[in-house]
Amino acid sequence: MTRKAAIIGGGVIGGGWAARFLLNGWNVSVFDPDPEAARKIGEVMANARASLPALSDIPMLEEGVLSFADTITEAVEGADYIQESVSERLELKHRVFAQIQQSCPDTLIGSSTSGFKPSELQQNAANPAMIFVAHPFNPVYLLPLAEVVPSPASDPAAIERAKEILREIGMFPLHVRKEIDAHIADRFLEAVWREALWLVKDGIATTEEIDEAIRMGFGLRWGQMGLFETYRVAGGEAGMKHFMAQFGPCLQWPWTKLTDVPEFTDELVDLIAGQSDAQSGHHTIRELERIRDGNLVGFLRSLKDRNWGAGKVLREHDARRRVAFTDGSREIAAAPLAMAQMQVLPSWIDYNGHMTESRYLFAASETSDAFLRFIGADMDYVASGFSYYTAESHIMHKGEAKLGDRLTGTLQVLSADAKRMHIFIAIQKNGVDVATIEQMLLHVDMTAGRAVAAPEAILDRLMPVAAAHAGVARPEAAGRFTGERK
């Protein structure tokens, strides 16, 4: 059953939450009195649709239904989860919570607040146990972090439910153990921001030069190792203790002005704004958002390939949604097996908007890998020193696949014996072949470097499939060579 999320406040953050839930299959109801809310969220959704699917290696769920409510009560009716993202005014948030809990006193309410503690949000609430902080980072639809901050009045079971919901939509809920103003991440950002303002005010650096110092240097390190792990590496073989001994004394030196705040004058505002205009004014905000999203997708995909940092969250999210083919519970029928579900991503297409040849081979690999896992030749088996190697491939292009198309990879075993497996893969769109790939695989002892017979445990799973497929009509394209007609 499709679940419903209610988003109260449809600005940049609220729109990002709406996109995150919608693209993960939830229905979303938004309340925002701004007459431009639908347009603004529509633009956020366009950016999200162009970027978030590129982080997944399997198709996104069917997009949920977006609606706009005229009242808070209408928006939260029947909601399984509520996210408040209104302006950072405590009295406004209190009014919003009071209206929500008049009709939904027992529904989870996460607040996007970047500064208020949950105990402050819960003041005078009808059911304070259901109100907590769920602080995301922009763009919400791409960045996985959500700081989950309870108070002593929070219901621990409710917090665990909230964390599970956030995981289900691909986020990383960081449980903050003690409530504190500005939580964890924004306290770092505030320190960096304050020092940056001094550097500009004192004429040491421009806004562009400060940004270059971050994105050309430590920002890249922080993006994949954070702060302490980065400094542990900086300590060399002696690790963190050596780093602390070497650089600890400098904390007493006047390197920063973190305990001093520059006077926030019109002159300082004009200086910062003027330099920012010179730096980035040739791009619209929407253009900058698309540039940002594209760069983030590239970073995150790289981290995902290495199963590191935020990329590990993306892998785990795919794994939760992936259709599992267990080794004993699947009926073997006299028909090709549907082994993989995929979606054509932005990185899969060429300048004509069509899926590239390399990605058809990737789709075939996803299909054959799923079958190998099905018969027990998985990564644990590879680690034992044995694997199936592809000895020959023949691809035929029969149709076109374009951005966003959902594809199914089916596999038919044409023949098999102890050492060989002859398979025929079809990559289909709406049940119609867009490509077929015929392959011969050899079972290899990787240490000896030669083909050997597969063990009985593998053959006991493979041969029943081969027997079932023996009665299936041989594909017309099977056994053809380039240019041959039948």
Cβ atoms within 10 Å of 314's Cβ, excluding its own: 22
pLDDT at 423: 97
| Confidence grade of residue 84 (pLDDT, cut at 50, 70, 90) | very high
Mean pLDDT of the chain: 90
DSSP code for 105: T
Q: Residue 272, Cα to own-chain centre: how many angstroms? A: 33
pLDDT at 294: 83
pLDDT at 326: 39
| Confidence grade of residue 383 (pLDDT, cut at 50, 70, 90) | very high
Rounded Cα–Cα distance for residues 221 and 424 (Å):
44
Non-local (6+) Cβ contacts of 294 within 8 A are 51
Over residues 79-87, the mean pLDDT reads 97
Integer CA distances (angstroms), 60 to 114, 424, 449, in order: 29, 26, 40
Query: Tens digit of pLDDT for each residue in 203-233?
Result: 999 999 999 999 888 888 888 888 888 878 8
Query: Tens digit of pLDDT for each residue in 329-357?
Result: 456 778 999 988 888 887 788 888 899 98
Contact 33, 10 (CB under 8 A): no
Rounded Cα–Cα distance for residues 241 and 292 (Å):
37
Percent of the chain residues past pLDDT 90, beyond the cut: 63
- Could you tell me how many residues make up the chain? 486
* Structure token digits, residue 483: 């240019």
As to burial, measured by CB atoms within 10 angstroms (0-12 exposed, 13-18 middle, 19+ buried), residue 198 is: middle
Over residues 446-472, the mean pLDDT reads 95
Residue 327 reports pLDDT greater than 70: no
pLDDT at 252: 67
| Confidence grade of residue 328 (pLDDT, cut at 50, 70, 90) | very low
CATH class of 185-282: mainly alpha
Write the single-letter amino acid at 139: P
> Can you state the angle between helices 310-321 and 285-305, rounded to 10 degrees?
80
Rounded Cα–Cα distance for residues 262 and 270 (Å):
14
Write the single-letter amino acid at 3: R
SS3 content of the chain, % helix, strand, coil (to 5): 45, 20, 35
Residue 242 reports pLDDT greater than 90: no
Superfamily, domain 323-469: Hotdog Thioesterase (3.10.129.10)
Give long-range contacts, CB 8 A cutoff, 24+ apart: 458-463: 458/375, 458/376, 458/377, 458/381, 459/418, 461/327, 461/374, 461/375, 461/376, 462/375, 462/413, 462/416, 462/421, 463/416
Residue among 332, 373, 295 nearest 54 (CA): 295
* Structure token digits, residue 323: 């259709």
Counting Cα atoms < 13 Å in the Cβ hemisphere of 40 gives: 19
Rounded Cα–Cα distance for residues 313 and 56 (Å):
11
When comparing pLDDT for 56 and 170, which is higher? 170
Percent of the chain residues past pLDDT 70, beyond the cut: 96
Query: Tens digit of pLDDT for each residue in 471-484?
Result: 899 998 898 877 76
pLDDT at 275: 87
Cβ atoms within 10 Å of 266's Cβ, excluding its own: 7
Query: Tens digit of pLDDT for each residue in 278-323?
Result: 888 888 888 888 888 888 888 898 888 888 888 899 989 988 876 5
Rounded Cα–Cα distance for residues 222 and 229 (Å):
9
Over residues 192-206, the mean pLDDT reads 93
Cβ atoms within 10 Å of 421's Cβ, excluding its own: 27
Residue 485 reports pLDDT greater than 70: no
Contact 11, 18 (CB under 8 A): no
Residue among 113, 265, 225, 232 nearest 176 (CA): 113
Rounded Cα–Cα distance for residues 409 and 389 (Å):
19
323-469 matches 185-282 in CATH topology: no
For the chain, the structural domain boundaries read 4-175, 185-282, 323-469
Tell me which CATH code domain 4-175 carries.
3.40.50.720
pLDDT at 255: 67
Element (H, E) at 38: helix 37-51
Contact 207, 279 (CB under 8 A): yes
Residue among 280, 139, 310 nearest 211 (CA): 280
Query: Tens digit of pLDDT for each residue in 398-440?
Result: 999 998 888 999 999 999 999 999 999 999 999 999 999 999 9
Non-local (6+) Cβ contacts of 222 within 8 A are 230
Element (H, E) at 147: strand 145-149
Over residues 263-267, the mean pLDDT reads 83
Non-local (6+) Cβ contacts of 237 within 8 A are none
pLDDT at 105: 96
DSSP code for 475: P
Contact 97, 109 (CB under 8 A): yes
